[in-house]
Amino acid sequence: MPSLLCLRVLTLSEYDNIVELPNSIGNLIHLRYLNLSNTGIKRLPSTVCTLYSLQTLLLAGCWSLFELPADMRKLINLRHLDCSGTQIEEMPVQMGRLKSLRILTIFVVGKSTGSTIGELRELSHLGGKLSILKLNNVVDGTDALQANLKNKKDLNELELAWGSEDADHSEKVRGVLDKLQPCMNLEKLTVKRYGGTSFPNWLGDSAFNKIKVMHLEDCHYCFELPPLGQLLALKELFICKMKFLRTLGPEFCGQPFQPFQSLEKLEFKEMAEWEEWVLSGSGGPKFPRLQELILKQCPKLRGNLPCDLPSLKKLIVKGCGVLHDQRATATTNTSTSLNYNCLEELEIEDGCQTGLLSLLETKLLSNLYIRHFNDIQCLPNINRLKSLILSNCPTLLSFPEDGLPTSLTSLDIYRCRRLEFLPHEMLAQLTELDSLTLWNSCDSMRSFPFGIFPKLTTLIIRNCESLESLCLIEEEGAVENLSHLNNLNIEGCPNLVCFPQGGLPTPNLTQLCFSRCEKLKSLPERIHTLTALRLLDIRDLPNLESIADDGGLPPNLRYFTIEHCERLRASSSSVGDWGLQELVSLEEFIIGGRGNDEILETLLKQQLLPTTLHYLRIKELSTLKSLDGRGLAHLTFLRSLSIGRCDSLEFLRGEALQHLTSLQELYISNCPSLQFLPEEGMPPSLSYLHIYKCSGLEKMYQNKTGQDHWASISHIPCIRINDEVII
């Protein structure tokens, strides 16, 4: 079509089923912008290189793309080429001829047939971000000098990365990095997998007064860091996997009286042999503006952190087992006090950093996360905490003697089985608590005091094996206290049998979930009075015998799930009492699991599902042999139907499926006994059919065998069998 040939912009991004372009793409001679980002494209046809007007080619996130067309040099008007997130192994030859390029996100140095790094010399107008990959293919420093990075004044981000194979730590590698010195305008520098034993002099030179971010990653053989304290504009520094570095000394700071004067975030990660952090004693604070300090997986680091961090707001220490451990640092001075008066967030994990416990009394501390903390039985007093997370503290027995701060709004406790839950009088002081999670914790707790927190909105109790009841406390205002609760989730409490008598006095509850409570026989009474409830999720309740027998389900439900409740009554009268037909707001219904086959059959036989339903999921019904479409015919608003893991399903009777005039998506998975789809055909509205791990259907439809059967689905625009799109 003439109008198509005049096309200037073509965007196909996010279509992961697109694996190739037709050769006819070359006919779009006026095309200036082509976006194939995040597609499944595996190759570009050579005719792309005849699009001489093309200015922008976006290939970001094309993980299946391993090469560019050989004649890329012909696209002389190309200004923007984004190949980030691809698997391109080397650049085509003569890339230096693309002198109009302004943005080139990656350049992969070729080993023999591809472009050498010298091709970058001619690309003098490159700006933005450039990643030069596979620098191990550069011959020597003289070869690297040909890239002329020093004169690329528009570059503000540069990544220099060697290959993933064993790093070459010869003098040649240091010479390559030395000659790749960038322009002084650079704002962000990343060096990855550099194999030299030391860094060149330019890295850390104070003349680079615009660098704000620096990452040094996998530089295994370097035994010391450059004087990065001299970079006056540096705000963020990330150092990772320097396995030969044992001591971080004064050379890290350099010559300034006040090093790192702009640094706001400092992170060390996976420094396997790092043992000491020694700072010079002269001058003022070494990190006067540091707000965030992160240490992760530095198992040999001992001694103290910098003692004077006046601006620090966030401290994370993970996997640093001997840092601040007084037993492991008996020969060092551990009495140095930490000046972290602005600290707001503290996260300690995997260790015995008893020296850091003094920070819990910092006046501004509002968020505390303690995980895998050994040899502590009682938490010290905490001042103004708002959020507290305790996880995997096997020896922790009790909270602070004075209780938790009344300012606390969020409390999460995971795998602290020996911890005694707070006594009643201390719980009553938590008047600001908004969210409470108990998970595999507080084994001695048999009853939870329902209604004690006046502002609680979320209550999650999981895997608390001793819990037997939710008990409404007999105090004035207890019922009113529950007016804010909107999310109640009880899971994995096998001994839970009792709810407050008369039901849950939670008028604003919007989400209610019960799962893996083996002794539970019924849901809370008068569940129909929960008029604000939007989501009801019932799973793995093997002894549940009834739901909603005293008034039906909550009238404004939107999402309803029932799975693996094998003792539920399946008689039409009992299921009819649920009042599903009256749920005019219900959009999604999920049913499946042991014993629920008869419930589904009753629902379909009596057409008890509400006509407003948009999404229906049927799963794990082991005895279901036939699904009669007549029970679905009244669901004229149904958009999506999913059938999965129904091993015995043999027939999908579909004469009534054609009445589902809104059905757009049909998913059928793990139904090995299903041999074919309804011969009567599918609804004309159906736009997507996905068949997954259904051996009978695969045999029938994958190769379009059986023309009569194929004709019944051939009108569907997109048919996917397993991971292959076949139409």
pLDDT band at 570 (very low <50, low <70, confident <90, very high): low
The answer to whether residues 612 and 587 touch, using CB atoms and an 8 Å cutoff, is: yes
- Widest pairwise Cα distance in the chain: 87
User: Whose CA is closest to 333, among 357, 307, 352, 351?
Assistant: 307
Tell me what the mean pLDDT of segment 87-109 comes to: 95
Question: What pLDDT, on a 0 to 100 scale, did the predictor assign at position 672?
Answer: 93
pLDDT in tens, 327-361: 444 444 444 567 788 999 999 887 655 667 777 77
User: Whose CA is closest to 99, among 118, 117, 73, 132?
Assistant: 73
Annotate 533-562 with DSSP letters as a single string: --EEEEE--TT--BSSTTT-S-TT-SEEEE
pLDDT at residue 449 above 60?
Answer: yes
- Distances, alpha carbon 456 to alpha carbons 138, 423, 435, 513, 525, in Å: 62, 17, 6, 17, 22
Question: What pLDDT, on a 0 to 100 scale, did the predictor assign at position 333?
Answer: 42
pLDDT band at 169 (very low <50, low <70, confident <90, very high): low
More confident call, 326 vs 565? 565
- Distances, alpha carbon 633 to alpha carbons 491, 577, 590, 653, 681, in Å: 36, 22, 18, 11, 14
**What percentage of the chain carries pLDDT values higher than 70?**
92
Tell me what the mean pLDDT of segment 139-168 comes to: 89
Burial of 526 (0-12, 13-18, 19+ CB in 10 A): middle
The answer to whether residues 658 and 682 touch, using CB atoms and an 8 Å cutoff, is: yes
Question: What pLDDT, on a 0 to 100 scale, did the predictor assign at position 334?
Answer: 40
Question: What pLDDT, on a 0 to 100 scale, did the predictor assign at position 322?
Answer: 80
Question: What pLDDT, on a 0 to 100 scale, did the predictor assign at position 10?
Answer: 92
Lowest mean pLDDT among 31-40, 320-329, 375-384: 320-329
More confident call, 572 vs 297? 297
Question: What pLDDT, on a 0 to 100 scale, did the predictor assign at position 269?
Answer: 96
pLDDT band at 392 (very low <50, low <70, confident <90, very high): very high
| Pairing status of strand 435-439 against strand 410-414 | parallel
Mean pLDDT over the full length of the chain: 89
Question: What pLDDT, on a 0 to 100 scale, did the predictor assign at position 461?
Answer: 97
Question: What pLDDT, on a 0 to 100 scale, did the predictor assign at position 328?
Answer: 44
Annotate 94-139 with DSSP letters as a single string: TGGG-TT-SEE-EEE--SSSS--GGGGGG-TT--EEEEEE-GGG--
Residue type at position 98:
L
pLDDT in tens, 599-644: 998 898 889 999 999 999 999 998 889 887 788 889 999 999 999 9
Cα gap 428→411, rounded to integer Å: 14
More confident call, 404 vs 330? 404
pLDDT band at 413 (very low <50, low <70, confident <90, very high): very high
- What is the token pair recorded at 268? 């060390």
Question: What pLDDT, on a 0 to 100 scale, did the predictor assign at position 711?
Answer: 78
Question: What pLDDT, on a 0 to 100 scale, did the predictor assign at position 329?
Answer: 45
Question: What pLDDT, on a 0 to 100 scale, did the predictor assign at position 656?
Answer: 62
Task: Map residue 144 onto helix, strand or coil.
Answer: helix
**What percentage of the chain carries pLDDT values higher than 90?**
62
User: Whose CA is closest to 13, among 60, 78, 67?
Assistant: 60
pLDDT band at 573 (very low <50, low <70, confident <90, very high): low
pLDDT in tens, 232-283: 999 999 999 999 999 998 889 887 678 899 999 999 999 999 999 987 655 5
Query: Phi-psi region for residue 580, left (φ > 0), alpha (ψ -120 to 50) or beta?
Result: alpha
Burial of 351 (0-12, 13-18, 19+ CB in 10 A): buried
Question: What pLDDT, on a 0 to 100 scale, did the predictor assign at position 616?
Answer: 97
pLDDT at residue 367 above 60?
Answer: yes
The residue count of the chain comes to 727
- The 3-state DSSP composition of the chain as helix, strand, coil percent (nearest 5) reads 15, 25, 60
- What is the token pair recorded at 355? 């020296």
pLDDT at residue 549 above 80?
Answer: no
535 beta partners: 511, 559
pLDDT in tens, 47-61: 999 999 999 999 999
The answer to whether residues 427 and 452 touch, using CB atoms and an 8 Å cutoff, is: yes
Q: What contacts 692, CB < 8 A, 6 or more positions away? A: 667, 668, 669, 670, 721, 722
Dihedral of CA 16/20/22/23: which sign?
positive
Q: What contacts 640, CB < 8 A, 6 or more positions away? A: 614, 615, 616, 663, 664, 665, 666, 667
pLDDT at residue 408 above 90?
Answer: yes
pLDDT band at 702 (very low <50, low <70, confident <90, very high): confident
Question: What pLDDT, on a 0 to 100 scale, did the predictor assign at position 675?
Answer: 87
Cα gap 49→77, rounded to integer Å: 11
Question: What pLDDT, on a 0 to 100 scale, did the predictor assign at position 156?
Answer: 95
- What is the token pair recorded at 354? 């008893």
DSSP 522: B
Question: What pLDDT, on a 0 to 100 scale, did the predictor assign at position 349?
Answer: 87
Cα gap 567→549, rounded to integer Å: 15
The answer to whether residues 173 and 167 touch, using CB atoms and an 8 Å cutoff, is: yes
DSSP 167: P
